[in-house]
Amino acid sequence: MAGVVSMRHQSGPGRASQGKTEPAPVRWALITIALAFLGLFLVMPLVLVFTYAFNRGLGVYFAALTEPDAMAAIRLTLITAAICVPLNTVFGVCAAWSIAKFEFRGKNLLITLIDMPFAISPIIAGLIFVLLFGARGWFGPWLIDNNIRIIFATPGIVLATMFVTFPFVARELIPLMQAQGTDEEQSALTLGASGWQMFWRVTLPNVKWGLIYGVILCNARAMGEFGAVSVVSGHIRGLTNTMPLHIEVLYNDYQFTASFAVASLLALLALVTLVVKSVVEWKGAREHAQAVREAESEQS
State the SS3 of 182-248. Answer: CHHHHHHHHCCCCHHHHHHHHHHHHHHHHHHHHHHHHHHHHHHCCHHHHHHHCCCCCCCCCHHHHHH
What residues of the chain score a pLDDT lower than 70? 1-21, 195, 288, 300
Q: Where are the alpha helices (DSSP H) in 21-106?
A: 24-38, 44-54, 58-66, 68-101
Whole-model pTM: value is 0.81
C-alpha–C-alpha distance, residues 189 and 203, integer Å: 12
297 burial via Cβ count (<10 Å: 0-12, 13-18, 19+): exposed
In the DSSP assignment, the letter for residue 168 is H
pLDDT for position 42: 81
> What's the pLDDT at 20?
56
* H/E element, 126: helix 122-133
N-terminal to C-terminal alpha carbon distance within the chain: 30
Per-residue model confidence (pLDDT) at position 13: 45
Q: Are 266 and 216 in contact (CB under 8 A)?
A: no
pLDDT of residue 242: 94
pLDDT of residue 278: 81
Rg value, the chain, Cα: 25
The answer to whether 162 and 221 are in contact (CB under 8 A) is no
